[in-house]
């Protein structure tokens, strides 16, 4: 990259990526430090109401910390190499964008560029593009590590990805996400509002511990509440193909297409329709939910 001679805040731009990585390394083994660094992006250096944009991300991060997946390798119990790596990627991209903010400098990746674009012109759609690009990049880079996790953990990874991609569609493609109820999409999916917790708060569906030893995927599905069940099977699953296509195009990451197989999520997971199309999808409440938000013809 052509960066020689340019500086930002007195630091050569060529060093921004290294400086961002150093910041992440300094907090990597302390979950509280990770949370602090994540929050500083929204509150530490900027004005203009950015703090509220961090609401959904920080809530999810607190859940991850409570589970223990971000514990250091020497922790008791140790954390998850996969969850740590994905969070590292998100933190690094944000830290580099913060260093480059407002400067005529070339980011090291498209993900960082999207965070810079968000800082220049904050919006719900811009936040999702940046956030989801970093998260998906983390998924794609660390699939081998994901394969070392328990099957129930890998199922949870897919659910988490599906939910955050869907939340993006709520604000950027509401007709895709909600069909006839599209006008509600931008309100429900706004990361600054508590309503987004309906889609991104996994505490409603999964145990808050790690590792999930002694559990199988069917246990997780059986324990899921009625509302999360209706959300997953009645609203999101029927839209998976268009949803992943939208994500690949919007994020500029064609690798997203490979995370869906035979119409179901298959990140570090076999492309089989069960448990994504199990008997719960036939329940009356789920069928009614699917009918209510069906996509209009051509919508």
Give average pLDDT by consecutive 10-residue segment, the chain, 299 residues. Answer: 40 76 96 96 73 92 95 95 98 95 83 95 96 98 97 94 96 95 93 85 83 92 77 87 97 95 93 71 52 50
Residue with tokens 């009625």: 226
Which of these, 1, 18, 12, lies nearest to 106 by C-alpha position?
A: 1
| 240-251 vs 124-141: helix crossing angle, rounded to 10 | 100
pTM (two decimals)? 0.89
CA geometry: angle 132, 136, 142, nearest 5 deg: 150
Residues with Cβ within 8 Å of residue 43, at least 6 apart in sequence: 50, 51, 54
Write down the pLDDT at residue 144. 96
pLDDT (0 to 100) of residue 116: 94
pLDDT at 284: 45
Residue 7 is predicted with a pLDDT of 44
* Alpha helix stretches (DSSP H) within 107-225: 110-120, 124-141, 143-146, 151-172, 174-178, 185-189, 197-200, 217-223
pLDDT for the residue numbered 279? 53
């Amino acid at each position: 990259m052509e960066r020689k001679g340019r500086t930002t805040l007195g630091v050569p731009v060529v060093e921004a990526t290294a400086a961002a990585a150093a910041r992440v390394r300094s907090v990597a083994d302390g979950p509280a430090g990770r949370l602090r660094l994540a929050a500083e992006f929204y509150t530490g250096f900027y004005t203009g109401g950015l703090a509220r944009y961090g609401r959904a991300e920080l809530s999810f991060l607190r859940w991850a910390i409570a589970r223990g997946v971000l514990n250091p390798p020497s922790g008791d119990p140790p954390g998850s190499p996969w969850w740590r790596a994905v969070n590292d990627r998100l933190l690094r991209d944000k830290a580099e964008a913060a260093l480059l903010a407002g400067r005529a400098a070339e980011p090291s990746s498209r993900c960082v560029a999207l965070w810079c674009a968000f800082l220049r012109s904050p919006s719900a759609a811009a936040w999702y593009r940046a956030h989801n690009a970093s998260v998906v990049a983390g998924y794609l880079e660390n699939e081998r590590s994901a394969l070392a996790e328990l099957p129930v953990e890998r199922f949870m990874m897919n659910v988490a990805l599906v939910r955050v991609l869907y939340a993006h569609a709520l604000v950027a493609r509401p007709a895709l996400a909600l069909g006839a109820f599209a006008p509600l999409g931008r309100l429900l999916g706004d990361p600054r509002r508590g309503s987004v917790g309906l889609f991104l708060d996994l505490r409603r569906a999964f145990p808050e511990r790690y590792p999930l030893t002694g559990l199988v995927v069917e246990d997780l599905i059986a324990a899921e509440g009625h509302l999360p069940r209706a959300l997953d099977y009645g609203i999101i699953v029927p839209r998976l193909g268009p949803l992943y296509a939208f994500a690949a195009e919007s994020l500029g990451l064609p690798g997203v297409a490979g995370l869906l197989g035979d119409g179901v999520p298959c990140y570090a997971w076999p492309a089989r329709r069960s448990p994504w199309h199990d008997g719960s999808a036939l329940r009356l409440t789920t069928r009614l939910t699917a009918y209510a938000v069906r996509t209009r013809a051509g919508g």
